[in-house]
Amino acid sequence: MTTNELPTFIRKHKETGIRKDFSRTTLCFLAMELMVFMTLLLLLILVPIFYLFNHNKYNGQLPPGSLGLPVIGQSLGLLRAFKADKVEKWFQERITNHGHVWKASLFGYPTVVLHGPAANKFVYTCDGNLLASSQPPSLTRIIGCKNLMELSANDHKRVRAALVSFLKLEVLKQYVAKVDVEIQHHLQSHWHGKHEVQVQPLMKILTFDIICSLLFGIERGPQREKLLPLFHDMIEGVLSVPINLPFTKYNRAIIARKKLVPMIIHLIQKKKEALMEQNQGDIPHKDLITSLLSIRHDDSSTMISEEEIIDNIIVVMIAGYDTTAVLLTFFVRLLASNKSIYSTIVQEQQEISNSKAPGEALTWEDLTKMKYTWRVATELTRINPPVALSFRRAKQDIEYGGFIIPKGWQVSHNTN
């Protein structure tokens, strides 16, 4: 082979290698697609057979209703109702068809849905050996298994006490000025000079900024900007059909959690170092992470594990992000549609504003003067409860309303 022919030989050899690598990659991709297809096919075949066998076991004692398609069930319809703000209509249609006790498949699991005051009393007073506090496993993969809603007995009391300590009156008073600064900045950046705005997206931005400040202790900047898309993906995953395949919302939520956890661990480590550098008693609880790290047993050991801090930070973040934004949106809509309420609230706020010096931040005492504003807000919360669904899990077969709730099934009740 001559020197001139050598580059041509090398190029052909490389092209042959590339084609072989491409062929191998294509075969691997096709094999993966085939495996996913076969898995879904087996699921679609086996799940109905399992449910059919389970139904026969109870001889017509199950509540009325339909479980729908495997995995998907009625989740798509419920999620569409959530997004269209028609959840009550969705439930009312099924109450009309089936009564106050009916079955469905929600978020991938068979569920018995209960309605009415009697159902609320049953769920809230039921023995823990019958109904366990448990979210759908698909949600637990996103929010973590050590969150307050999954814990029971002493663990639940311990973590709940730690979270409640963050909401004590003397602690809340410290955050008024901080929240005021966030709101002032938000109004200046997103509302000032605008003739028209989309309220709900802006309320989500405001809620996110306050969460970053109070829960994580993260000020405005690049670190906040990294968190926002992860929050968004996790919220979208919670409100999605739990199918963990590439490019699904549920899959993106799980990936977002995997990215978020190391960031929270890094924050925890930084705050641990800050606590060690100063006297613990002299440090104000500036954020939820610092507050949880500061709570100690009598022997000075930490009361809350790192895993519990991570999972409960995530669940508080998810619970507060969407629900608070929705309630604030309802509040703004009410002000826009009811001139009497709007005028009374403006007058109350103006009186407080006139008593403040220019640029002076709000205080807790100022909030206590907002009596009419507070009554309107609490009434909105009563009419539009932020949490429409609550889940439990049957630990054994339960008889309720003349029907059987099978062991292992979810039990959900509409809190509205």
| Domain contains 139 | no
Dump pLDDT digits (tens) for 225-246: 888 889 889 988 887 888 888 8
| Banded pLDDT at 348 (limits 50, 70, 90) | very high
The total number of structural domains that make up the chain: 3
Parent domain of 252: 153-383
Confidence of residue 44 (pLDDT cuts 50, 70, 90): low
Do residues 50 and 98 share a domain? Answer: no
Q: Same domain for 209 and 334?
A: yes
Say whether both 122 and 192 belong to one domain.
no
109 and 11, same structural domain?
A: no
Give the model's pLDDT for residue 121: 86
CA end-to-end span of the chain: 84
Asked if residue 17 belongs to a domain, the reply is yes
Residues 48 and 73 in one domain: no
Q: What pLDDT score does 255 carry?
A: 93
The per-residue DSSP string of 265-309 comes to HHHHHHHHHHHHHS-GGGS---SHHHHHHH-B-TTS-BSS-HHHH
Task: Look at 6 and 225; give whichever has higher pLDDT.
Answer: 225
Indicate whether 32 belongs to any domain.
yes
Give the distance from CA 146 to its chain's centroid: 14
62 pLDDT more than 50: yes
Mean local confidence (pLDDT), 65-80: 82
Instruction: Report the C-alpha gap between 75 and 66 in whole angstroms.
Output: 12
Q: Which amino acid is at 252?
A: R
176-190, 241-255, 316-330, 341-355 — which is least confidently predicted? 316-330
Q: Please indicate, yes or no, whether residues 106 and 227 belong to a single structural domain of this protein.
A: no
Same domain, 336 and 408: no
Q: Are residues 239 and 309 in the same domain?
A: yes
- Looking at residue 305, what is its pLDDT? 87
Residue 142 belongs to some domain of the structure? no
Number of neighbours of residue 288 by Cβ within 10 angstroms = 23
Q: What is the pLDDT of residues 244-261, one digit of tens each?
A: 888 889 999 999 999 999
pLDDT of 124 over the 80 cut: yes
Give the pTM: 0.74
Task: Give a yes or no: residue 119 inside a domain.
Answer: yes
Which residue type occupies 161? Answer: A
What mean pLDDT is reported for the chain?
Answer: 80
